[in-house]
Amino acid sequence: MNLGIKDRVAIVAASSKGLGKACAMGLAEEGVKVTICARDERTLMEAAGEIESKTGAHVLAIPADVTKLEDIRKLVKETADKHGKVDILVNNAGGPPLGEFMDFSPEDWQKAVNLNLISTINLTRECLPSMQKQNWGRIINITSIAVKQPIEGLILSNTVRTGIIGLAKTLSQEVAKYNITVNNVCPGRINTDRIRSLAEGRAKAKGVSIEKIFEEWGKDIPLGRVGEAEELANLVVFLASERASYITGTTIQVDGGVVKGLL
C-alpha cells in the first residue's frame, strides 16, 4: 500500500530510542523527512545515524527537552527553517515514576504534568500553525493503555495521560476543518529499554532470567507475548498517512489484547 507521505515533514519527540525511535524509523522508511529529538545528544546522534543507514533518509537531529518551552520552539523553528513546514507531529515522552498516591509530593505531580501533558500541549501549539496554513496535518499522541484500563502502581501516568485523551478528542473537533487529524496510540507491554529495565529488576529479585520474566508477562497477554516497538510504530505510520484521512479523535491500543474493555 502506498501511504502517500513521501517528502512529508515529521517531528517525532523523545525519539533517540524505544517507541519514538521506532516511529521515526518507520516514517523515514516511507520517505518522510524526519526530525528527531532527545535530551542526550550522544544517543540522539547515534539514533540519527542508524535511521539514516537503514533507510537512506536524511534525519535532522536536534537536542531538546520537551518539558522546556524554549527547546520546543527551537525544535519546531529549525525543522520549519530547513523544510519549510511541519506536516506530522508524534507526541511522545518518557513515563513518570511508579508509586502510589501518598508516595508523591506536589512537585512530583507537577513534574508528571509537565512531562506528559504540557509537553504535548506545547508541541502541538507550535506545530499547528504550519498544518493550518497548508490545510493538512497529522497529530499522533503516544500515551499508554493506562488511559483505558488504569494500571496498579502507576497513579501519575493513569492520571496525567488521561488528560491527553480529553485534549485530543476536543482538538480533533476544532481542527478537522483544516484537514488535520488527531489520534492517540496506547502501547501495552512493548519491548523497550524501560520495559527491559523493569524486567531486569524483577528478574534480579526473583533470581531468574529476563527472558523468564518476559515469558511470565506473556501469559497475561492474549497473544502470548510482549510486543515489539515496530508493531506500535506501524500503527503510528498508518495514522500519519493519507490512507488514514477519515480517522480522527480515536484512541487505539496496541497491547496484544490486554485491555478487556469494549471501547
Residues 6+ away with beta carbon under 8 Å from 254: 185, 186, 187, 188, 190, 227, 231, 232, 235
Q: What is the pLDDT of residue 188?
A: 95
Q: Specify the pLDDT at position 147.
A: 97
Q: Cα 201 to chain center, whole Å?
A: 24
pTM of the predicted protein model: 0.96
Could you give the percent of the chain with pLDDT greater than 70? 100
Burial (0-12, 13-18, 19+ Cβ within 10 Å), 7: exposed
pLDDT at 48 over 90: yes
- Structural domains of the chain, ranges and CATH numbers in brackets: 9-189+226-253 (3.40.50.720)
- Predicted confidence at residue 71, as pLDDT, reads 98
Residue 100 pLDDT: 95
For 139, 172, 173, 228, the CA distances from 249, given in Å and listed in that order, are 10, 5, 8, 25
Host H or E run for residue 188: none
pLDDT at 1: 79
List pLDDT tens digits, range 172-216. Answer: 999 999 999 999 999 999 999 888 888 888 898 899 999 999 999
What does the alpha-carbon distance between residue 9 and residue 216 come to, in Å, rounded to a whole number? 40
Question: What's the DSSP call for residue 100?
Answer: -
Amino acid at 206: K
Phi, psi of 43 (to 5 degrees): -65, -35
Instruction: For residue 141, list its beta bridge partners.
Output: 91, 184
DSSP-based three-state secondary structure for 179: coil
The number of residues in the chain equals 263
CA pair distance 143, 160, nearest whole angstrom: 10
Q: What is the mean pLDDT of residues 91-115?
A: 96
d(CA 232, CA 58): 23
Note the pLDDT of residue 197: 84
Work out the number of other CB atoms within 10 angstroms of the CB of residue 146.
23
Residue 183: CB atoms within 10 Å: 22
CA distance 235 to 60: 23
